[in-house]
Amino acid sequence: MAPMARAAELLTFDGLYKSNTVLGLKFADRTLALKGQTVRLRGYMAPPLKPESNFFVLTHEPVAICPFCSSDAEWPVDIVVIYASKTVIPTNFSERIEVEGTLEVGSFIDPKTGFVSQLRLRDSVFHKL
């Protein structure tokens, strides 16, 4: 009998970082340990910059405008960039969703958009809660 697939670990926004000081962000030990693994995260889809895209921003609380920032120094600790496995149809920004994908950790500049991110989920899928 084949072993059962392990359920993806659930991350929370308040557990992603150890600290955020003038010296920069420090990722939590658990976040670093889960790098490259499939994880789940619950939050809200920020309004997209364009109607058809394969990425969006997941926020801890609902927001009415896109929270992308221009630099690492300004990166808010309560958002994660989600790269979906297919084109995303936006949800209502006040509907809570759960996203599952592969966790990437560390500064990244998207070559297509120029957006900066500290945490990302790749090959993601999501559903409403």
In a domain, 74, yes or no: yes
pLDDT of residue 1: 47
pLDDT of residue 67: 53
In a domain, 53, yes or no: yes
> pLDDT (tens digit, 9 = 90+) per residue, 54-69?
889 899 988 765 555 4
What CATH number has the domain bearing residue 108? 2.40.50.870
In a domain, 1, yes or no: no
pLDDT of residue 70: 41
| DSSP helix, strand, coil percent of the chain (3-state; round to 5) | 10, 50, 40
Cα separation values, 28 from 33, 49, 119, Å: 9, 29, 12
In a domain, 40, yes or no: yes
Q: β-strand 79-88 against 53-59: which pairing, if any?
A: antiparallel
pLDDT above 60: residue 9: yes
In a domain, 3, yes or no: no
pLDDT of residue 73: 44
Give the Cα separation of 18 and 20 in Å (integer): 7
> pLDDT (tens digit, 9 = 90+) per residue, 70-105?
444 455 668 899 999 888 888 888 899 999 999 999
Output the average pLDDT for the chain: 84
Question: Is residue 72 a contact partner of residue 24, using CB atoms and an 8 Å limit?
Answer: yes
Please state the pTM of the whole predicted model. 0.84
Range of the domain at 124: 9-128
pLDDT above 80: residue 48: no
